[in-house]
């Protein structure tokens, strides 16, 4: 990594831009993202910004269980995020389907079978501090060139 790439990598770690996707969540995880932007947790103080478009994002936050309809949306969104990128999965649902696992509309697969997940944030729902920690861990992986997409892993 040359000096310019190093400076860019540090800048990305210190100011990660985040977009989010609800893949089939009960909204419990998503509601915990909102306090991150409040003065109490103040994610912007550590450089984290939430953005509406994946084309400006470094990190994708995905909540909810994988459904028949959301699989395509996840792949579309992931494709729009420019490299390098990281994926953070929020809560128990992306890992296991959680309480929705037996629904006929739920695929019953881990999010990891669709996109390469870099950080799992456990909980139902996870606390805002845990979500912020997950974002910052993903930002650190990005700086180190250690996200799964940076290691050459592709989507399904
Ligand atoms: S992990 Fe819990 S709070 Fe989050 S979407 Fe699933 S059921 Fe809802």
Write the pLDDT tens digit of every residue in 92-149. 999 999 999 889 888 888 999 999 999 999 999 999 999 999 999 999 999 999 999 9
For the chain, the structural domain boundaries read 3-144
Residue 24 Cβ contacting ligand 1 at under 6 Å: no
- d(CA 98, CA 100) in angstroms, rounded, equals 5
Would you tell me how many other CB atoms lie within 10 Å of the CB of residue 136? 19
Ligand 1 pocket test target in 64, 111, 134 with most atoms within 8 Å of CB = 64
The best mutation among 27, 101, 124, 128 to test binding of ligand 1, ranked by most ligand atoms within 8 Å of the C-beta, falls on 124
**How many whole angstroms from 25 Cα to the centroid of ligand 1?**
6
Two structure tokens written together for 156? 């399904």
Where b means 16+ CB within 10 Å and e means fewer, 75-87 reads: eebbeebeebbbb
**Residue having the nearest C-alpha atom to atom 2 of ligand 1:** 124
Please tell me the CATH code under which domain 3-144 is placed. 3.40.50.12280
CB 35 within 8 A of CB 128: yes
Confidence grade of residue 12 (pLDDT, cut at 50, 70, 90): confident
Contacts of 66 (CB under 8 A, 6+ apart): 23, 24, 74, 94, 97, 106, 107, 108, 109, 110, 111, 113, 114
């Amino acid at each position: 990594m040359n000096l310019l790439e190093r400076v860019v990598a540090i800048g990305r770690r210190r100011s990660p831009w985040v977009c989010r996707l609800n893949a089939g969540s009960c909204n419990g995880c998503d509601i915990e993202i909102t306090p991150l932007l409040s003065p109490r947790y103040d994610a912007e103080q550590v450089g984290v910004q939430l953005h509406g478009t994946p084309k400006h994002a470094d990190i994708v936050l995905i909540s909810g269980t994988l459904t028949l309809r959301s699989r395509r949306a996840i792949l579309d969104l992931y494709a729009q995020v420019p490299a390098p990128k990281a994926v953070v999965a929020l809560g128990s649902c992306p890992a296991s389907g959680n309480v929705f696992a037996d629904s006929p509309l739920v695929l019953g697969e881990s999010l990891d079978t669709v996109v390469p997940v870099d950080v799992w944030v456990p909980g139902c729902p996870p606390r805002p501090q845990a979500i912020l920690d997950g974002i910052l861990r993903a930002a650190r992986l990005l700086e180190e060139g250690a996200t799964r997409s940076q290691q050459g892993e592709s989507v399904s």
